[in-house]
Amino acid sequence: MPQRPKIVLVGQLSSFPWVFESAERAGIDLVLVPRGDDSVESAGRAKSVVEVLPLDIDGDPESALSTLVERFRRDPFDGIMPGNEKVVPFVARAARMLGLPGLPEEVAAVVRDKRSMRRLLREAGLGAPGFVSLDGPDRWADALTLRFPVVVKPANGYSSLGVVRVDDKDQLVPAVARTWELCETELRQAGGPADGVGVLVEEYLDGPEVAAESLVHHGRVRVCAIEWKGEMTGPYFEETTVRAPAQLPADVLAAIEAEVIGAHHAFGVTEGATHTELRLIGGVRPVLLEMAARIGGAGVNHYLTHIAGGIDLAAEALRIHLGQEPVCWSQEPVPTGHAAAYSVPVGKGGRIVRVHGLDAVRADPRVDQVVQTVGPGALLRPYPDWAGYPAIVLSHHESDAAAVEFRDHLVRTLHVEYEEES
């Protein structure tokens, strides 16, 4: 019998089970590099994880890389895949050094920087909002040429950290100062490029938000699912609810697909799974917000795609990183229903005591999974800062209307209790 293929999965949070389950289904063994905030014990728990390899990618990327190369020489593995946004450039570099499938390093850098994504979209003739890149926290006046409202955001952020809608000049000055500070304290990467820290101001795109999960192999793109994120008007953009498949007319869905495929080509993203976010101007015209060269939501978007698109997204992504063709290239997938993800809002923030109502939700037959990334006593900072989600509920439904009804039920029944301030 041939040996089972083995992939190094970098920085996949162990409390999010889907990628591990997909690997098991696909017969792929994982060497897990735990995320910095994950424990080695919980990292090794999944059946598909046959080895845990701690690397200090954030603190010391050079020795992390040489440890990985040494591990490869001792016992070669067949692929390497990123499990979160921050490690995408590291994984691209490692893949090149080891001769494994992956993204070119320049491309990994492009999709980690919203400035370069904007520039390349424009050059390709694709939609993009007017934007200004600020050279320093005191350069806010450079943004006054834009049409307000605008959005202030880090150039290389995630999870809407530091993303703020600003309606006029008076709000702009404090917003830029605050986002700049969050960039310095939360987003600066050791060993990263000197221009990695930066703040972008861009015109507000008015319309509901959608996301697309795609696979790309040898430059051929397939959009596997389109999700509805709904109307989010700010000033902060905490994501609370995503549903799939998005209930949109066929021509709008086709326009989204075309924009997403065009963006892959514009950025040069040729291998792997991607998560793309777009706004629908006037409810119909898609404009790209950003693309991430990894599975969305640490696997949450795999769940949505698996049900709504009938595609085992994480298994396909693992295959691509092994150099194999995705199964859905040759077998037409069969969607099985509607799916939803609901994040309990952080609200005012503080030291978390518990999330009330979760036991009943766990027992609900519509619910497939409840994940919690922060335990009792953890400090949750309110937006625009961000430190984790109190709980995420994943559920399946017979219709979009039923998913909406269930969301409303969760809004009514789940709430976070924080310690009293003394």
Residues at the site binding Ca ion, with contacts judged by CB under 5 A: 44, 49, 158, 277
Residue 159 sits in the site that holds ligand ADP (CB under 6 A): yes
249: number of Cβ within 10 Å: 10
Closest CA to 192 of 219, 155, 221, 227: 155
Residue 301 CB-half CA count within 13 A: 28
Q: How far is C-alpha 55 from the chain's CA centre? A: 21
Give the shortest CB-43-to-Ca ion separation in angstroms: 9
358 touches, from Ca ion, ligand ADP, none (C-beta below 5 to 8 Å by class): none
Residue 205 sits in the site that holds ligand ADP (CB under 6 A): yes
Residues 210-239 vs ligand ADP: string with x where CB under 6 A? ----------------------x----x--
Residue 277 sits in the site that holds ligand ADP (CB under 6 A): yes
Residue 255 sits in the site that holds ligand ADP (CB under 6 A): no
Residue 34 sits in the site that holds ligand ADP (CB under 6 A): no
Task: Provide the token pair at 287.
Answer: 């404009």
Q: 216 - beta bridge partners?
A: 221, 272
Residue 196 sits in the site that holds ligand ADP (CB under 6 A): no
d(CA 117, CA 95): 22
**Which of 21, 38, 113, 202 lies at the binding interface for ligand ADP (CB under 6 A)?**
202
Task: Provide the token pair at 356.
Answer: 């009330």
Residues 36-75 vs ligand ADP: string with x where CB under 6 A? ----------------------------------------
Q: Cα separations (Å) of 115 from 86, 200, 212, 334, 393?
A: 16, 7, 21, 38, 33
Label residues 284-319 b or e (16+ Cβ within 10 Å = b): ebbbbbbbbbbbbbbbbbbbbbbbbbbbbbbbbbbb
82 touches, from Ca ion, ligand ADP, none (C-beta below 5 to 8 Å by class): none
Q: Beta 49-52 vs 150-154: how paired, if at all?
A: unpaired
Q: Which amino acid is at 185?
A: T
Residue 209 sits in the site that holds ligand ADP (CB under 6 A): yes
Please identify, using beta-carbon distances, which residue of 8 and 88 lies nearer to ligand ADP.
Answer: 88
Give the shortest CB-277-to-ligand ADP separation in angstroms: 5
Please identify, using beta-carbon distances, which residue of 181 and 419 lies nearer to ligand ADP.
Answer: 181
Please identify, using beta-carbon distances, which residue of 160 and 270 lies nearer to ligand ADP.
Answer: 160
Residues 125-154 vs ligand ADP: string with x where CB under 6 A? ----x---------------------x-x-
d(CA 54, CA 58): 12
Mapping DSSP to helix (H, G, I), strand (E, B) and coil, where does residue 205 land? Answer: coil
Q: Which amino acid is at 206?
A: D
Candidates 198-206, 261-269, 376-384, 403-411; binding stretch for ligand ADP (CB under 6 A): 198-206
Residue 160 sits in the site that holds ligand ADP (CB under 6 A): yes
- Which residues of this protein are in contact with ligand ADP, per CB under 6 A? 129, 151, 153, 157-161, 163, 202, 204-205, 209, 232, 237, 277, 279, 289-290
